[in-house]
């Protein structure tokens, strides 16, 4: 006699997994001002928004005792500890998963050197997917804190908690950072009109910088961030710029937002060696100011839209740096978007 009812569905169920397959999604972000002041060592403040471009993680149980991982590379190993992908490796270890799992990560934008917080979003999306697979949900604060700890404490990267926190909480956010590295999270409620005006105030280009016959492949943000030369003065200026940026939004000074962003860009150029690359010389001949997103080097260009007054300027930016990325502010948060226990 054949098996009936739930026994047929559950006979091969791996006991630690509640579900068979799960997809986690975490948004990327635009950091307008304050980036760098979230690095450990003192007080800081940032203003950033999540956008409708995402990093995804698909996690699926396997019936064998292998770990399959697909990212820029394909890895098949016997134990999670043997994975080269450090973020996935540490997420699996913290969740107590050693084998019997397959993971696929992919993104809406090129991951290397985007400056849109892709590393933090990868960590958050993997944690969301694993939580869904295990049936062990966590709060936003728990996910963000764990994701930041993986990058900063376990992997020892030269970064701050801004990226995993904005990717986890989404929306429009102001973060204050304290010496204990625990950010205070503030949601900024914008009217539909204000949200649209903020979106329309800036354009994103690139970062497919031509290098001969191939596109530039990115940079290691850790190399740039580890050379931070700023101190208390830098952090205080960042806090002031965040206050100014929010004040301009409240007063609807949309054309002045670009000037505040430029001040922050100038600060980062001064205190982060390698923030600006040789590839930007041509850009400076086209527009008076812009900001490289993230650590710099090869990130997306954040350009005040009022400076792109003609199609010719737009065409030159595309030619010298890369394509325009249309985006919207994403008011949602990191989450599980699909689960199945079949």
Kindly state the average pLDDT of the residues 80-98: 97
- What pLDDT, on the 0 to 100 scale, is given for residue 231? 81
Query: What's the gap between Cα 236 and its chain centre?
Result: 24
User: End-to-end alpha-carbon separation of the chain, Å?
Assistant: 22
* Rounded distance between C-alpha atoms, residue 115 and residue 314, angstroms: 21
User: Phi and psi at residue 105, in whole multiples of 5°?
Assistant: -115, 140
Q: Does residue 36 surpass a pLDDT of 60?
A: yes
Segment holding 182, helix H or strand E: none
Closest CA to 57 of 28, 22, 85: 22
**The predicted structure's pLDDT at residue 3:** 37
Across residues 283-287, what is the average pLDDT?
Answer: 89
Burial class (CB in 10 A: 0-12, 13-18, 19+), 1: exposed
Q: Which residue has the higher pLDDT, 95 or 3?
A: 95
Mean pLDDT of the chain: 88
Residue 224 has pLDDT above 60, yes or no: no
7 pLDDT higher than 90: no
State the pLDDT at residue 130.
98
Indicate if the pLDDT at residue 86 is higher than 60. yes
Q: Which of 93-97, 183-187, 189-193, 277-281 has the lowest mean pLDDT?
A: 277-281
Q: Nearest 5°: CA angle at 107, between 102 and 113?
A: 115
pLDDT, mean of residues 171-175: 98
Q: What is the DSSP letter of 317?
A: H
Around Cβ 80, how many Cβ atoms within 10 Å?
A: 22
What distance in Å separates the CA atoms of residue 25 and residue 168, rounded to the nearest whole number? 10
320 in Cβ contact with 314 (< 8 Å): no
In this chain, the answer to whether the domains covering 11-191+329-340 and 192-320 adopt an identical fold is no
Name which residue leads in pLDDT, 327 or 226. Answer: 327
Dihedrals phi, psi of 110, to nearest 5 degrees: -60, 135
CATH architecture of 192-320: 2-Layer Sandwich (3.30)
pLDDT recorded at residue 9: 42
Integer Cα distance of 260 and 31 in angstroms? 12
Instruction: List CB contacts of 280: < 8 A, sequence separation 6 or more.
Output: 292
Average pLDDT of 97-113?
89
* Average pLDDT value for residue range 262-267: 92
Instruction: Output 142 or 16, whichever has higher pLDDT.
Output: 142
Asked if the model's pLDDT at residue 306 lies above 80, the reply is yes
Q: Which pLDDT score is estimated for 271?
A: 80
pLDDT of 129 reads 98
Task: Report the pLDDT value the prediction gives residue 330, as an integer from 0 to 100.
Answer: 98
Give the torsion sign (CA, 165, 169, 171, 176).
Answer: negative
| CATH code for the domain defined by 11-191+329-340 | 3.30.230.10
Domain-wise residue ranges, the chain: 11-191+329-340, 192-320
Q: Please give the Cα distance from 272 to 315 (Å, whole number).
A: 29
Q: Which residues, including other chains, have CB under 8 Å from residue 188's CB and lie 6 or more apart?
A: 47, 171, 172, 173, 174, 246, 249
CB 195 within 8 A of CB 309: no
Whether the CB-CB separation of 290 and 281 falls below 8 Å is answered with: no
């Amino acid at each position: 006699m054949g098996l009936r009812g739930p026994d047929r569905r559950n006979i091969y169920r791996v006991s630690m997994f509640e579900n068979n397959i799960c997809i986690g999604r975490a948004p990327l972000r635009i950091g307008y001002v304050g980036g760098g002041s979230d690095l450990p060592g003192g007080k800081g403040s940032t203003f950033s928004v999540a956008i409708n471009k995402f990093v995804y993680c698909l996690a699926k149980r396997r019936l064998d005792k292998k770990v399959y991982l697909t990212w820029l590379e394909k890895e098949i190993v016997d134990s999670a500890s043997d994975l080269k992908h450090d973020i996935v490796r540490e997420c699996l270890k913290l969740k107590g998963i050693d084998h019997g799992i397959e993971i696929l990560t992919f993104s809406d934008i090129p991951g290397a050197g985007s400056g849109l917080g892709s590393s933090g979003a990868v960590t958050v999306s993997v944690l969301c997917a694993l939580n869904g697979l295990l049936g062990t949900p966590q709060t936003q604060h728990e996910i963000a804190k764990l994701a930041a700890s993986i990058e900063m404490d376990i992997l020892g990267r030269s970064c701050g908690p801004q990226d995993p926190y904005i990717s986890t909480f989404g929306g429009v956010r102001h973060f204050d950072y304290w010496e204990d590295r625990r950010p205070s999270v503030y949601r900024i409620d914008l009217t539909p009109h204000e949200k649209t005006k903020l979106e329309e105030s800036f354009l994103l280009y690139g970062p497919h910088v031509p290098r001969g016959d191939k596109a530039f492949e990115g940079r290691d943000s850790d190399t740039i961030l580890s050379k931070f030369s700023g101190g208390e003065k830098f952090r205080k200026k960042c806090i002031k710029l965040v206050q100014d940026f929010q004040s301009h939004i409240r007063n609807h000074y949309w054309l002045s937002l670009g000037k505040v962003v430029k001040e922050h860009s100038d600060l980062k150029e001064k205190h982060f060696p390698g923030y600006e690359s040789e590839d930007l010389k041509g850009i400076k001949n086209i527009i008076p100011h812009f900001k490289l997103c993230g650590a710099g080097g090869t990130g997306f260009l954040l350009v005040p839209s009022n400076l792109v007054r003609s199609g010719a300027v737009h065409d030159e930016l595309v030619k010298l740096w890369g394509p325009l990325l249309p985006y919207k502010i994403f008011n949602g948060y990191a989450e599980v978007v699909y689960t199945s226990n079949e």
